[in-house]
Chains A and B, each alone.
Chain A
Amino acid sequence: MATRIDTLEPIPAPERPPQRRLSPREWARENLFGSWLDTVLTVVFGLVVAWLVYRLGKFVFVDARWEIIERNITNLMVSRFPRDELWRVWAALLVLGPSLGFGAGSAAAARRREAEEGRAAVVPERASALRRLGPLLLLVGVLLWFAQSFQATLLTLAVGVLGVAGYLLGRRVALSGRRTALVVLLGIAAAYVVVTGFGGVGWEDWGGFMLTILLAVGGILLAFPFGVLLALGRRSSLPVVRAVCVAYIELFRGVPLIAVLFMGAFMIGFLLPAGVERPSLVTRALIALVLFTAAYVAEIVRGGLQGVPAGQVEAAQALGLSHFRITTRIVLPQALRTVIPGLVGQFISLFKDTSLVAIIGLTELLNVSRNITAQPDFIAQGLIVETLLFAAFVYWTGAYWMSRESQRLERRLGLGER
């Protein structure tokens, strides 16, 4: 069969149909009142939605007694963390802001470079920076509104300014992906040391939203290497290694997180040899979260490993690379790149799941929200609705923001579009 050379030219993308500008009337006709069924649906749904929005709006802005949140905002954020040491938390945020900003800037620069070199798809930026950060800014705004503290506002502004500065610096410096990750990890480590080191406060005394974040971030960071090892083990050519890894993964994916947390809370003490002190409840919860999350990370990474074409490994073998180098230099970098959205998804799950540690008695965000309704000033006034709504709002903004960013990332990596 003769190959026509001109068919090898890239096929031009079909031209988009011209956008019709609809007048509001036409738009409503097309989208709301297309048929009599549509009209009925619109009217019924319109009434229901309007009623729900009215009730919610009336509750949030008129009926709700937010005083309980205002008076307990520090409690909700850090709970039992010693108040004298609160400056450490602010200092940690002042370290975290610029390093995370730097990471974001550096990643943005790398993305642009890749697009320019034609190594990545050019995805038009649909949302402005302000819209992208919307949920996060909303969260910070609401927290500051409840805090009603000049000092807190000033410090938050400082964190924001440093973050933006870090972002701009990151865009200019534009480090490689690995170094960017290193800078971010160093920032997180430094923030941790600022809080705990030099006579600071160990994590057994953390609480509130701060504990939620510690468990989520610490959980995913510690589970990641473990999960990668499990994924590699599951794809190993050694049957025994494979069997052990499969058993581990299926065991932890087959049981609910709360059972694993019970294991952490009640069982870990028995597993230690006599004379060894039982670690604090926070540590045990973290161990449970890591054991649990590692199994899920392993399955996500396995998906990425399977996506690396066999030709890559064969080519590396042909070049005479050792098995170890093939794995670390050829397979993993390609695999890990594609699993980032999956890992973000897992992080979101973990972030929401940290609420379960309330059941074993840790005072994280959800537990504080429940406990403060028992304070003498607020007891038996049915304020649980307000506090739970507040907690749900904090979780929602975080999870929604991350899931939106993860979808952007997916579009950029061209996953889910083939």
Chain B
Amino acid sequence: MLRFVGQAVFLAAVLGVLLYLLDNVVYNLERLGIPTGFDYLDQSAGFAIPDSDFRSSQSLLDALLVGVQNTVKVSLIGIVLATVLGVVIGVARLSTNWLVRRAAAAYVELFRNVPVLIIIIFFWLGIFLRLPPITRATEILDLVVLSNRGLVIPWFEKEGSGAAFGLVALAGLVLAVVVWVWRTRRFDRTGQPHHRFLWAGGVLVAMLAVGFFATGRPWVITTPERGELATAGGFRLAPEYAALLLGLTIYTASHIAEIVRGSILAVSRGQSEAANAVGLSDFQRLRFVVLPQAFRISIPPVANQYLNLVKNSSLGVAVSYYEVTKITQVSISQRAPAVQAILVLMGIYLVFSLSIAAVTNLINRRLTLKGR
């Protein structure tokens, strides 16, 4: 009974405070003549977004969607790069080579203890924006153009319809999965080496190659052509994007490296000794005994780092990279109602966070050792 009353009082107090704050907000907004609902999202944005097809007459909602795309664009690539770099450095920290070990340790200690914002701004103001202007741009083998307008690399350009090719690619993917399952089953049945990665990968690549030519080469590679004011062709990494991406990658990699190192060390030494005792080679010991166990240990903390990277991508606001946070900031300065804009921003990040957490939990549950 007392428990019930206590909880009721607590709930009433929390709700009371929230309602009081909400009441204040509504009162203040009305007093200042600011709209209270979320209709402002349909109004025209009134600002353009660099490096996108977005026009300033489109709605704020569309602007936010472009922002979400940009957030995903920097986060996904950042996650891939940070993982690769982090694993390499984490393994290097355990190298038997003194120099490699020490260099990796220095990397980790250097970047882990500096604010990621400083790293990002350093790349932006200190490096990319100080590159020579486009008239004196650095060109490497006529393939890469490096100037203060960004880094331009050769890229695919769509020619004609990609729909047919997309279908072929999808079919190839399905076929690859089927081959993968077949090789796995065969391995389970006969115990012969499955090489499923080679098989499935080979099938996919073959399908893509055949599809590419069969559908009339839907993509061509263009190399950047340097003009007076800009480059034509290729894919341009804007200085803002490159700075944010590099900063996030380098900073997150230093954290992932520590996790990788810790996870490998956490696999008990008896496992390695047992592997040696049954006569596995060094490679087999790593591939089949140590790394699978280390991988399991590292999933939750690495997923946490991915989450941090997504959240840190909000620092794009400091280098004018137009991800959701920057777009929210700009829209507030363009007289969008601040309270609602910030609530929307927080909601978007919550969706990101909760979906990453859900995926992690799913993977973690699948991979946790049963019966321990």
Contacts and interface: CB of A to CB of B under 8 A. Distances in A.
B43 interface: no
B137 to A, nearest CB: 18
Interface stretch (B61-69, B91-99, B158-166, B201-209): B91-99
B353 A253 contact: yes
Contacts of B315: 258, 356, 359
Contact of B342 (A41, A253, A266): A266
Nearest to B338: A266
Given A259-B349, A267-B342, A270-B29, A388 B99 contact: no
A270 B97 contact: no
A34 interface: yes
A400 interface: yes
B97 A240 contact: no
A384 B25 CA distance: 41
A273 B23 CA distance: 9
Interface string B101-115: 001000001101111
Contact of B31 (A31, A257, A274): A274
Contact of A254 (B29, B338, B354): B354
B118 interface: yes
Interface residues of A, number: 55
A269 B99 CA distance: 55
B214 interface: no
B41 interface: no
A388 B122 contact: yes
Contacts of B114: 352, 392, 395-396, 399
A32 B342 CA distance: 55
Given A240-B10, A355-B115, A355-B117, A263 B96 contact: no
Nearest to A369: B118
Interface residues of B, number: 56
A21 to B, nearest CB: 17
Given A259-B325, A266-B332, A238 B7 contact: yes
Given A49-B103, A238-B6, A34 B113 contact: no
B349 A358 contact: no
A134 to B, nearest CB: 13
A262 B99 contact: no
Q: Which of B31, B99, B315, B332 has the most CB of A within 10 A?
A: B99
A11 interface: no
Nearest to A33: B97
B108 to A, nearest CB: 11
A244 B96 contact: no
Nearest first, the 4 A-B pairs at minimum CB distance are A254-B353, A31-B98, A399-B113, A256-B311
Given A45-B99, A266-B338, 12 more contacts: A42-B99, A255-B350, A258-B317, A262-B325, A270-B24, A355-B115, A370-B121, A370-B125, A388-B121, A388-B122, A392-B114, A400-B109
Interface of B: 3, 6-8, 10-11, 14, 21, 24-25, 27-29, 31, 95-100, 103, 109-110, 112-119, 121-122, 125-126, 130, 311-312, 314-315, 317-318, 325, 328-329, 332, 338-339, 342, 345-346, 349-350, 352-354
Interface of A: 31-32, 34, 38, 41-42, 45-46, 49, 237-241, 244, 250-251, 253-259, 262-263, 266-267, 269-274, 348, 352-353, 355-356, 358-359, 366, 370, 382, 384-385, 388-389, 391-392, 395-396, 399-400, 403
